[in-house]
Amino acid sequence: MSFNKYLLMSAAAVFGGAFLYAIAKEERRKRSKKLRFEGRDCLSLEDVYERFYSSSGLDKEKVLRYWSETGKLLRLEVGKLRPEDRFDKELAPVRGQELADEIEDLSEYLASTARELRISADLSEIKTLDDLIKRFARRE
pLDDT digits (tens, 9 = 90+) for 62-105: 999 999 999 999 888 999 999 999 998 888 877 765 555 678 88
Work out the pLDDT band at 61, boundaries 50, 70, 90. Answer: very high
pTM reported for the whole predicted model: 0.74
Question: Could you tell me if residue 4 is inside a domain?
Answer: no
Closest by CA position to 137, among listed 80, 30, 75, 52: 52
Residue 24 belongs to a domain: no
Residue 10 has pLDDT above 90, yes or no: no
Helix axis angle, 129-136 to 60-73, nearest 10°: 130
Share of the chain above pLDDT 90, in %: 41
Q: Is residue 2 part of a domain?
A: no
Instruction: Give the range of the structural domain holding residue 81, as residue numbers without chain letter.
Output: 36-136
- Is residue 12 assigned to a domain? no
Angle of CA points 122, 123, 127, to nearest 5°: 135
Q: CA 101, 67, 92: angle at the middle one, nearest 5?
A: 25
- How many domains does one find in the chain? 1
Main-chain phi, psi angles of 79, to 5 degrees: -75, -10
Mean pLDDT of 122-137: 91
Q: Does residue 52 sit within a domain?
A: yes
User: How long is the chain?
Assistant: 140
